[in-house]
């Protein structure tokens, strides 16, 4: 989904091809289901939701509604059509699990064999977060298998081996980019020669276009509309590269990467009508640029402002909120003025973690499992509450939908009730009925 703006509204003035009509339909569909958290970084792929919650937090933070034992991995939960989904690994199987969002009743489980072993010892489970759209869930394994399954029963619809098909590289830590669905195509950063970024048909997995030869890195693509034309913006190992969503043409490039080879561009880029924000660790730092044609002009940059190792910052009212510093070096949490790069405030002793914005509140989840709730205020850090949301070792982004919060650590998925929630969400029309399925190599 891309944000509604003056630029986005000018889409009406263009003569649409069938694919552009599909893209607009996709945007409107997510607008109507704004309460869902159907992909990496939420409904607008920017780490935020307008789903309202109260600001009077109970003493225990957010009471538990249900829990489920899960396997290993760093994939985040997603919520769509009254269902909570998680991609994880149990023993030698990669598992996609689906639960009734409000109660934790199991809907179905789909599993696939795997022999993936992480070269760096960072864990053998999935690191990519799936996306749900058009009745399908798209999941990318660390070994490079992109699969589409039915959200109704977990049946396998199609799969593509990115290594075998495109000679894609799994890098240091395996494939970690999260698929982006734009209309009738799903976009993935592959990292193959002539196939750095690839768009597949949602319905059948057919290759619609492939472009570039940059290494993939670990960032995830985001949608970007410029002058009414939708683009898929990737943040690969070389920097930010945008492709026209219809034909894959490279239409923008801005180099931004570490000076050392053993580095990662992991945080997703942030875009709006005014510019593009990029951040990386390893001596690279953050920059705010104004795109000009096929490149951009730097407004500000610096490694001492907001250098995010892997967690994507969020934005509110022209201010960025995020983690500064490498995760193993006791990072801090900061508020930065987007237009100038001025650091407005810093909170020490938070550790590494992730952040999402729910209305005017920031939910900051540390790797220790502690959740701090801060107001999105540029004047000073105002803490509403803090509580132990899950176990230690978590790097996964929380999900919020209809007054419920999902957090995941190394062994549990926990659903908690947020303040102001009045009822347990029920399955939406068209959602699957409870069942169980163990999928193999075909539907």
Q: Judge whether 392 and 366 are in contact, CB under 8 Å.
A: no
Q: What is the arithmetic mean of pLDDT over 420-441?
A: 47
> What gap in Å lies between CA 6 and CA 12, rounded to an integer?
11
**Residue owning tokens 């002009």:** 297
pLDDT per residue as tens digits for the range 287-313? 999 998 898 899 999 999 998 888 899
Provide CB contacts within 8 A for 169, sequence distance 6+.
163, 191, 192, 215, 216
Judged against a pLDDT cut of 60, whether residue 140 lies above it is answered with yes
Average pLDDT for the chain: 86
Q: Judge whether 53 and 359 are in contact, CB under 8 Å.
A: yes
pLDDT per residue as tens digits for the range 230-267? 999 999 888 999 999 999 999 999 998 766 666 677 88
Share of the chain above pLDDT 90, in %: 67
Judged against a pLDDT cut of 80, whether residue 122 lies above it is answered with no
More reliable by pLDDT, 16 or 376? 376
> What gap in Å lies between CA 380 and CA 366, rounded to an integer?
20
CA dihedral 134, 201, 26, 45 (to 10 degrees): 100
Judged against a pLDDT cut of 50, whether residue 431 lies above it is answered with no
Q: What is the arithmetic mean of pLDDT over 407-424?
A: 87
Q: Judge whether 419 and 133 are in contact, CB under 8 Å.
A: no
What sign does the dihedral 264-208-276-146 (CA atoms) show?
A: negative
Q: Judge whether 243 and 266 are in contact, CB under 8 Å.
A: no
pLDDT per residue as tens digits for the range 63-121? 999 999 999 999 999 999 999 999 999 999 999 999 999 999 999 999 999 999 987 77
pLDDT band per the 50, 70, 90 thresholds, residue 420: confident
Judged against a pLDDT cut of 80, whether residue 432 lies above it is answered with no
Among 335, 328, 368, 337, residue whose Cα is nearest residue 350: 368
Judged against a pLDDT cut of 70, whether residue 8 lies above it is answered with no
More reliable by pLDDT, 296 or 151? 151
Provide CB contacts within 8 A for 133, sequence distance 6+.
26, 29, 38, 39, 181, 202
> What gap in Å lies between CA 410 and CA 239, rounded to an integer?
31
Domains, the chain: 6-417 (2.130.10.10)
> What gap in Å lies between CA 397 and CA 35, rounded to an integer?
17
pLDDT per residue as tens digits for the range 318-338? 999 999 987 677 899 999 999
Element (DSSP H or E) covering residue 401: strand 399-401
pLDDT per residue as tens digits for the range 37-48? 999 999 999 999
Cα 182 to the chain's mean position, in Å? 14
DSSP letter for each residue of 197-227: EEEEETTT--EEEEE------S---EEEEET
pLDDT band per the 50, 70, 90 thresholds, residue 391: very high
Q: What is the arithmetic mean of pLDDT over 51-56?
A: 87
pLDDT at residue 101, rounded to an integer: 97
pLDDT band per the 50, 70, 90 thresholds, residue 351: confident
Judged against a pLDDT cut of 70, whether residue 125 lies above it is answered with yes
pLDDT at residue 257, rounded to an integer: 76
pTM for the predicted model, two decimal places: 0.88
Q: What is the arithmetic mean of pLDDT over 189-213?
A: 96
Reported as half-sphere exposure (CB side, CA atoms, 13 A), residue 33 has a value of 23
pLDDT at residue 259, rounded to an integer: 67
């Amino acid at each position: 989904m891309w944000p509604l703006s003056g630029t986005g509204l000018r889409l009406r003035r263009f003569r649409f091809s069938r694919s552009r009509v599909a893209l607009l339909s996709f945007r409107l569909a997510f607008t109507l289901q704004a309460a869902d958290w159907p992909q990496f970084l939420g409904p607008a792929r920017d780490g935020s939701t307008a789903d309202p919650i109260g600001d009077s937090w109970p003493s225990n933070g957010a009471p538990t509604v249900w829990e489920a034992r899960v396997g290993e991995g760093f994939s985040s939960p997603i919520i769509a059509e009254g269902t909570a989904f998680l991609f994880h690994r149990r023993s030698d199987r990669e598992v996609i699990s689906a639960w009734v969002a409000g109660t934790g009743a199991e809907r179905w489980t789909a599993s696939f064999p795997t022999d993936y072993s992480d070269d760096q010892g960072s864990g053998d489970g999935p690191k990519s977060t799936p996306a749900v759209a058009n009745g399908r869930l798209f999941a990318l394994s660390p070994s490079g298998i992109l699969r589409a399954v039915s959200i109704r029963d977990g049946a396998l619809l199609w799969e593509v081996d990115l290594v075998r098909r495109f000679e894609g590289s799994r890098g240091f830590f395996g494939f970690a980019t999260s698929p982006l669905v734009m209309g009738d195509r799903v976009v993935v950063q592959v990292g193959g020669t002539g196939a750095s970024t690839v768009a597949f048909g949602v319905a059948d997995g057919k290759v619609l276009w492939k472009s570039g030869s940059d290494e993939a890195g670990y960032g995830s693509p985001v949608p970007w509309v410029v002058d009414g034309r939708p683009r898929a913006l990737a943040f690969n190992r070389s920097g930010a590269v945008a492709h026209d969503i219809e034909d894959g043409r490279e239409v923008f490039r801005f180099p931004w990467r570490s000076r050392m080879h053993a580095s990662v561009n992991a945080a997703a880029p942030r875009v709006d009508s005014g510019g593009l924000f990029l951040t990386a660790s390893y001596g690279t730092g953050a920059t705010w640029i104004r795109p000009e044609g096929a490149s951009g002009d730097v407004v500000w940059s610096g490694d001492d402002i907001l250098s995010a190792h892997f967690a994507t910052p969020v934005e509110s009212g022209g201010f960025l909120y995020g983690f500064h510093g490498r995760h193993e070096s006791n990072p801090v949490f900061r508020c930065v003025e987007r237009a100038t790069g001025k650091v407005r405030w810093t909170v020490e002793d938070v550790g590494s973690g992730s952040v999402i914005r729910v209305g005017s509140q920031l939910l900051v989840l540390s790797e220790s499992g502690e959740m701090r709730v801060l107001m999105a205020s540029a004047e000073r850090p105002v803490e509403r509450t803090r509580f132990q949301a899950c176990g230690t070792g978590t790097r996964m982004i929380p999900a919020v939908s209809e007054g419920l919060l999902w957090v995941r650590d190394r062994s549990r998925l926990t659903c908690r009730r947020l303040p102001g929630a009045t009822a347990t969400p029920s399955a939406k029309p068209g959602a699957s009925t409870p069942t169980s399925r163990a999928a193999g190599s075909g539907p």
